[in-house]
């Protein structure tokens, strides 16, 4: 025994150590509680604050809580008094399964300042589960030959509780043949064994009923039961015996599968499994026979499971055996003989012994395509075969010297372009009853020979090309196809260049020999060339090659690429400038002059409009928009200037308008001096617009000069100083002067008329006059297509023609005239 003083010293040291640990740990402490499982929610586990020595006032506002993980906590702490409660029902078997010790560790936190306290709650087990067996009933089979002391393992019961509440023992109901033994495997795991105490006798008692009970260590104890039935097995001491000495049957070879051939039967004097018979084939039976027949293990019926063939085997001898179902079965063997009767069950077979899969389309009639042989495994009339070919193909069967050998030959001319492949169906039919028929199809491909020339998709071709095309660019393409195939259908193209006058233009064309795409090597000009024609040849690559040609008609379409040209006024040095003299006393509407212009383009591109760009006095002159006529708007007064300059703009109606300008100077003179020569000045300039297109223009300025009568042109300067008091001589000289001026005026009129006539004659030699001209200038181009002639004109064409449906918007049908002339402004 330990002295009391030593015990007291040890207690003091223990208290000292506890105080020291608390002081050293600062804000950390750990408390341990225990609580039974299945307590009600809200059950107090412990006073954490009190056990830690904390005042309730010290908990206020410090957020006392339990730090939980991802799962919901089983406990909660009151922030005001620090008491730990059960939050929800706790099942120890669910939380800790079968662990012997079940402890839940909690981490509680106080803030301001931070304090962490660890709380361990041990969950105590209660006896809330009864032992349970996996099955309600268990059957055991024990042979009557089993010796005493034999052990038979039983299924153990399960109890989720642990410790003293787990299964403690097994009890067996009272009987004289069995007892129970328990083997302890640790961790509350006990295995029951059924031990045989006395020899069993099936003839005395073939079945034993037992009850096994599992009991736990609770107070009061809980238990679970299982019913055990022991079946006593008989000892096998009798062999099966067949009821017949010989089993035999006869079948037709076409008998359907599943048919019962024969049934064998055997008996056994034993009881139970020892007396139950099962039937099977013998161990030495050929596997091929087992594919044709099967035996029912329970009834002994033999069934047909495969296709019987008399030609392969006329009879079958099958070894069968009968055995009981004992653990060590006894067996008895017997033979069954099955005879097969012949029927017509084989269809003829067609075999292609030699076959040419392709034949040329120019092959002669009678050419052999394939050799075939026909066989039938049946004999006699069942093996006699008749062959033929289905109609609709240019082939027939030709019999050979050897029996059942045939040749497939052609009976008509072949044409691959009509039919490139034939499916030849050969029919073989035997003479049995019922007869069997076999069909076999072979595909015969007709190979190509070069017997078709290339064919153009259109003949002749007609193409329209806009002038000013890009040199080297593709303008159009021709296409030809060949009904042959492979090299015989590979078409190449070339242009015929024979050097004739009509084909000179073809030297400016190039064609892609592979696809027929035609490229222009130069830029065409509508004003120079309107239409041309050439020929293209398409050749295949066969041997020998075949070819075909086509005529290509090409029409050049106009573009607005020509600026208007001023024809009048026009000076000798080419300037578009002229001087017109008119009497001062002309009336309103007097024709001063007419600006004439020409555009080499046609249609809208050659339709010209006139406008005044600059004029000295807008109230004096007017310009007709369509004719280019300049007329006076009113009579002249003494205050009007003697010379006027007019700038006239002439432009076409193309998408991108081109223009020219002319200058006309109008001088006002006395009537006798009204006629004068005109100087034409022309200015031309090329302006490039914002789109990069070039706009051509020329300027014509009209200057009108008003001359006082006393300043009119005369042979000499006449100044009158006559006074009211002069004598008659002055009047005489005045009359002579007036007469001279009148003569000069008449001479000027005659000269002017002669000059105008001379100009008109000169223009007529170059341009086509038009009597019904309405002021709109249009260019035209005629061309022929088949039996019709066409003319491309502008929208104000004065020729009485009709528009051809389906043609271009500017295409008119004309009478058949061989000449065509451009129309000009005059």
pLDDT of 588-631, one tens digit each? Answer: 999 999 999 988 888 888 899 999 988 888 889 999 999 999 99
Together in a domain, 494 and 544? yes
Overall average pLDDT of the 579-590 stretch: 90
Model confidence pLDDT, tens digit, residues 106-158? 888 887 778 888 888 877 777 777 888 988 899 998 888 888 999 988 888 88
> For residue range 13-32, what is the model confidence (pLDDT) as tens digits?
554 554 444 433 434 457 88
Q: Are residues 93 and 111 in the same domain?
A: yes
Residues in the chain: 826
Q: Are residues 418 and 497 both part of a single domain?
A: no
> Region 224-233: what's the mean pLDDT?
90
Q: Which of 669, 703, 738 is the last residue of a domain?
A: 669
Q: 90: which 2 tokens?
A: 């706790």
Nearest to 648 by CA among 630, 634, 632: 630
* CB proximity list for 145: less than 8 A, separation 6 or greater: 235
Kindly state the average pLDDT of the residues 50-76. 74
Residue 817 counted as domain residue: no
pLDDT at 184 over 90: no
CB 777 within 8 A of CB 825: yes
**pLDDT, greater one: 86 or 787:** 86
Please give the pLDDT value at position 584: 87
Residues 262 and 166 grouped into a single domain: no
Structural domain including 645 reads 565-669
On whether both 569 and 656 belong to a single domain, the answer is: yes
The sign of the CA dihedral 757, 760, 766, 772 is negative
Which strand (E) or helix (H) includes residue 646?
strand 643-651
Domain check: are 570 and 643 in the same one?
yes
Q: Is residue 675 part of a domain?
A: no
Number of domains in the chain: 6
Residue 709 falls inside a structural domain = no
List, in sequence order, every residue forming a beta bridge with 643; answer none if it has no partner.
705
What is the pTM for the complete model shown?
0.40
Contact between 574 and 682 (Cβ < 8 Å): yes
Q: Which helix (H) or strand (E) holds 505?
A: none
Structure tokens at 369: 């395509």
Asked if residue 603 and residue 512 are part of one domain, the reply reads: no
Given pLDDT bands bounded at 50, 70 and 90, which one contains residue 695? Answer: very low
Same domain, 537 and 572: no
**Which domain-ending residue is among 341, 371, 402?**
341
Q: What is the CATH number of the domain that holds 303?
A: 2.60.40.60
Which of 54-68, 234-248, 546-560, 759-773 shows the lowest mean pLDDT across its residues? 759-773
Q: With respect to residue 10, please indicate whether it lies within any of the assigned structural domains.
A: no
State pLDDT tens for residues 434-469.
Answer: 888 999 999 999 888 888 889 999 989 999 998 888
Residue 174 has pLDDT above 50, yes or no: yes
Q: Is residue 334 part of a domain?
A: yes
Residues 85 and 150 in one domain: no
Instruction: Give yes or no for residue 226 having a pLDDT over 70.
Output: yes
pLDDT reading at 702 higher than 50: no
* Same domain (yes/no): 475, 417: no
Tokens of 619: 């109230």
- Strand-strand pairing, 577-583 and 659-669: parallel
Which phi and psi (to 5°) does residue 93 adopt? -70, -25
pLDDT at 711 over 70: no
Say if residue 42 is in the same domain as residue 117: yes
- In tens, the pLDDT along 235-292 reads 877 789 999 988 999 998 888 999 999 999 999 878 888 888 999 999 888 899 999 9
In a domain, residue 674? The reply is no
Residue 694 predicted with pLDDT over 60: no
pLDDT value, residue 98: 65
Of 101, 124, 147, the residue that ends a domain is 124
- Mean pLDDT value of segment 686-706: 36
- Name which residue leads in pLDDT, 322 or 813: 322
Note whether 656 and 622 are same-domain residues.
Answer: yes
pLDDT of 48 reads 80
What is the DSSP track for 86-99? E-S---HHHHHTT-
For position 738, what pLDDT does the model report? 86
How many other CB atoms are there within 10 angstroms of residue 339's CB atom?
A: 11
* 788 — pLDDT class (breaks 50, 70, 90): very low
Residue 690's pLDDT band (cuts 50, 70, 90): very low
Mean pLDDT of the chain: 78
Residue range 565-574: average pLDDT? 82
Residue with the larger pLDDT of the pair 26 and 482: 482
């Amino acid at each position: 025994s330990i002295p009391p003083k030593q015990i007291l010293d040890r207690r003091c040291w223990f208290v000292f150590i506890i105080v020291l640990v608390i002081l050293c740990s600062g804000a950390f402490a750990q408390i341990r509680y225990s609580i039974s499982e299945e307590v009600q929610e809200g059950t107090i586990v412990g006073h954490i604050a009190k056990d830690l020595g904390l005042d309730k006032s010290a908990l206020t506002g410090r957020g006392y809580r339990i730090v939980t993980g991802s799962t919901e906590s089983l406990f909660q702490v009151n922030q005001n008094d620090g008491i730990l409660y059960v939050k929800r029902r706790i099942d120890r078997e669910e939380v800790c399964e079968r662990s012997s010790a079940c402890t839940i560790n909690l981490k509680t936190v106080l803030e301001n300042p931070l304090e962490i306290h660890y709380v361990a709650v041990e969950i105590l087990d209660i006896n809330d589960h009864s032992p349970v067996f996996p099955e309600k009933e268990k059957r055991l089979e024990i042979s009557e030959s089993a010796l005493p002391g034999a052990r038979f393992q039983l299924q153990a019961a399960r109890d989720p509780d642990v410790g003293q509440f787990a299964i403690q023992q097994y009890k067996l109901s009272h009987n004289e043949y069995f007892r129970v033994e328990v083997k302890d495997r640790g961790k509350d795991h006990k295995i029951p064994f059924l031990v045989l105490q006395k020899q069993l006798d099936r003839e005395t008692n073939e079945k034993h009923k037992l009850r096994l009970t599992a009991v736990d260590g609770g107070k009061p104890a809980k238990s679970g039961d299982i019913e055990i039935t022991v079946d006593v097995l008989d000892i096998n001491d009798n062999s099966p015996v067949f009821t017949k000495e010989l089993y035999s049957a006869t079948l037709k070879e076409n008998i359907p599968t599943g048919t019962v051939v024969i049934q064998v039967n055997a008996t056994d004097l034993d009881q139970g499994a020892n007396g139950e018979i099962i039937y099977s084939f013998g161990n030495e039976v050929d596997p091929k026979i087992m594919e044709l027949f099967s035996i029912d293990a329970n009834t002994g019926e033999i069934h047909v499971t495969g296709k019987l063939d008399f030609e392969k085997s006329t009879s079958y001898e099958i070894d069968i055996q009968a055995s009981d179902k004992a653990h060590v079965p006894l067996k008895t063997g017997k033979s069954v003989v099955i005879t097969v009767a012949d029927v017509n069950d084989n269809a003829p077979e067609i075999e292609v012994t030699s076959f040419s899969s392709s034949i040329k389309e120019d092959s002669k009639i009678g050419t052999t395509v394939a050799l075939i042989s026909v066989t039938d495994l049946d004999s006699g009339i069942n093996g006699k075969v008749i062959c033929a070919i289905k109609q609709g193909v240019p082939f027939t069967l030709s019999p050979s010297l050897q029996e059942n050998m045939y040749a497939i030959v052609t009976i008509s001319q072949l044409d691959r372009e009509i039919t490139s492949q034939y499916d030849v169906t050969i029919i073989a039919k035997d003479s049995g009853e019922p007869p069997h028929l076999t069909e076999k199809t072979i595909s015969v491909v007709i190979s190509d020979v070069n017997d078709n020339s290339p064919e153009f998709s259109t003949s002749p071709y007609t193409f329209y090309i806009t002038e000013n095309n890009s040199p080297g660019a593709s303008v159009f393409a021709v296409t030809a196809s060949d009904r042959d195939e492979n090299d015989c259908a590979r078409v190449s193209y070339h242009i015929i260049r024979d050097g004739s006058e009509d084909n000179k233009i073809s030297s400016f064309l190039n064609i892609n020999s592979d696809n027929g795409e035609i490229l222009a090597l130069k830029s065409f000009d509508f004003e120079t060339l309107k239409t041309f024609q050439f020929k293209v040849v398409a050749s295949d690559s066969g041997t020998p090659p075949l070819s075909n040609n086509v005529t290509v008609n090409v029409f050049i379409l106009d573009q607005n690429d020509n600026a208007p040209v001023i024809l009048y006024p026009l000076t000798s040095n080419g300037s578009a400038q002229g001087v017109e003299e008119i009497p001062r006393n002309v009336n309103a509407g007097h024709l001063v002059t007419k600006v004439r212009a020409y555009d080499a383009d046609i249609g809208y591109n050659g339709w010209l409009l006139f406008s005044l760009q600059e004029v000295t006095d807008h109230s004096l002159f007017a310009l007709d928009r369509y004719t280019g006529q300049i007329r006076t708007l009113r009579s002249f007064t003494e205050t009007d200037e003697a010379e006027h300059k007019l700038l006239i703009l002439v432009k076409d109606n193309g998408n991108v308008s081109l223009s020219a300008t002319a200058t006309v100077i109008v001088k006002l003179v006395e009537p006798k001096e009204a006629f004068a020569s005109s100087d034409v000045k022309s200015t031309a300039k090329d302006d490039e617009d914002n789109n990069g297109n070039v706009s051509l223009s020329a300027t014509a300025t009209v200057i009108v000069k008003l001359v006082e009568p006393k300043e009119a042109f005369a042979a000499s300067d006449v100044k009158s100083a006559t006074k009211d008091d002069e004598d008659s001589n002055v009047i005489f000289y005045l009359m002579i002067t007036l007469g001279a001026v009148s003569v000069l005026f008449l001479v000027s009129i005659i000269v002017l008329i002669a000059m105008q006539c001379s100009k008109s004659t000169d223009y007529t030699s170059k341009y086509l006059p038009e009597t019904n001209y309405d002021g709109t200038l249009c260019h035209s181009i005629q061309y022929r297509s088949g039996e019709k002639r066409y003319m491309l004109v502008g929208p104000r064409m004065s020729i009485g023609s009709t528009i051809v449906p389906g043609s271009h918007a500017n295409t008119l049908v004309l009478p058949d005239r061989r000449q065509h002339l451009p129309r000009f402004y005059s």
